Structure 1
Amino acid sequence: MALGITLTIVADVGAAPWDVLHVGLYYQFGLTIGTWNIIIGFIVLGSAGIMMKEWPRFGAYLNMIFVGAFIDMYMSLPFMVEPATWYGKSVMFLAGMVVYAYGMGIYLSAKLGAGPRDSFMLALTARTKWKVSNARRLMEIGVLVIGWLLGGPVFIGTVIFSLAAGTFIGIALPQCQALANKWLKDKDTNAEIERGASI
């Protein structure tokens, strides 16, 4: 996920709504984009916990910390530079969307808990009884406006990501879940064989 996010930001054709906010905060207040990803994640995750009156699952904390840390790591790589041509920018952005979708598919397949923003979306849906799509749309419009006011990168890529990310994730998630289920089943089978052999 972090690599996909980094590619979409570096391509410089507009970032995803949440990343518009993170980059805007970076422009205005310093720190790093990954650090703002963690800080906003902490605020959002805490808000979700308060709304649901329960602690988020362990995977939400892992998502919050590691995605932010890896964004900064990828950003620091010397070859992670903005392409010189529109063709290069477009390829980099679309590659970022694909990597992001499969990254999300992999982490969700582990079933250790949704990330901070997804946790907040689910909490908002539970409290307001809104449809998930409406809750997600309200969240993303809100952070997009704030990020834009802070100077975050809003352009054609922002529109494409907002419209197409759901489709990309919808394709990636079932594939990742099928692989995860097969891998976990194989692990369980191997464990049973080892226990039988030891007996």
Structure 2
Amino acid sequence: MSNLVRILCYPLGLMIKSFGITLMIRSRMGTDAWNSLYVGMYQQFGLTVGTWVIVFGVLIVLLNARMKRKKPDLFSLMTVLVLGLCIDFWLSILRLAPLERTEQVLLFWAGLLCTCLGISVYVQGRFGLTPCDELMYNLCHRFGLSLSASKTVTDGCALLFALLLHGPIALGTLIYTFLSGPLIQFFIPKIRRLFGKSR
């Protein structure tokens, strides 16, 4: 994969991922724990969903830097900035409000697939982890947790606060939890082969 293609994968993947997140939010069938937290913050305190993505992202980047005793990761900051702005952009133009259950289901699954596809594309850029993923790894190293336990802790905290804030926790949240990993694993080798042929 050429450097140019690798660099382009980063913003392209984030745009696709943010589009997928927006579709899941609009489906009203639930989304992942972290984005449910951001929607809950928006519903309770105003601002925008994307703004809360950026606010929490910056706080987690600073927490990660303190845990590692290093300077904040600029690529992590850039990731949450781009992702937050893209989510607000898509939410502003995709004013969907599906009433039929079939429409909600289709919208959710389209969002889930786009989100996982977007993640599979932007990781090809190899610019680093998102703040939440980096926090997961930092907890592993700091407290000797397994990766699975660390992810459970971070996602569990986000889920708890999302529930307290009445975020969109629903069946879709459960589906995302169990299927996002396998879907990303399914997409990554195919994306790698696709972009590998573009050299």
Task: Name the SS of the counterpart of 1:76 in structure 2.
Answer: helix
One of 164, 169, 181 as aligned partner of 1:154: 169
Does the C-alpha gap of structure 1 residues 182 and 51 become closer, same or farther in structure 2, counting only changes over 3 Å?
A: farther
Deviation of the 1:80 alpha carbon: 3.1
Does the C-alpha gap of structure 1 residues 110 and 58 become closer, same or farther in structure 2, counting only changes over 3 Å?
A: farther
One of 134, 147, 153 as aligned partner of 1:138: 153
* Identity across matched positions, percent: 29
Structure 2 spans left out of the alignment, 5+ residues: 1-16
| TM-score for the superposition, normalised by structure 1 | 0.86
One of 182, 191, 196 as aligned partner of 1:167: 182
* Distance in 1 of aligned mates of 2:67 and 2:105: 39
One of 11, 25, 30 as aligned partner of 2:46: 30
| TM-score for the superposition, normalised by structure 2 | 0.86
Write out the 4+ residue segments of structure 1 that deviate beyond 6 Å after TM superposition.
none
Deviation of the 1:11 alpha carbon: 0.3
Preserved contact between residue 54 and residue 81 of structure 2 (Cα < 8 Å): yes
Does the C-alpha gap of structure 1 residues 101 and 39 become closer, same or farther in structure 2, counting only changes over 3 Å?
A: same
Amino acid of the structure 2 residue aligned with 1:52: K
Preserved contact between residue 61 and residue 73 of structure 2 (Cα < 8 Å): no
* Distance in 2 of aligned mates of 1:40 and 1:179: 34
Task: Name the SS of the counterpart of 1:15 in structure 2.
Answer: coil
* Distance in 2 of aligned mates of 1:149 and 1:85: 27
Larger Rg: 1
Aligned to 2:116: 101
Q: How many residues of Structure 1 are paired with residues of Structure 2 in the alignment?
A: 183
Amino acid of the structure 2 residue aligned with 1:14: G
After TM superposition, the structure 1 stretch with the greater mean CA deviation from structure 2, 165-174 or 17-26, is 165-174
One of 45, 69, 80 as aligned partner of 2:85: 69
Q: CA offsets per residue over residues 136-160 of structure 1, 9 Å max, x none?
A: 1111111101111011111111111
Aligned: 1:12 with 2:23: no
Structure 1 spans left out of the alignment, 5+ residues: 187-199
* Distance in 1 of aligned mates of 2:197 and 2:168: 40
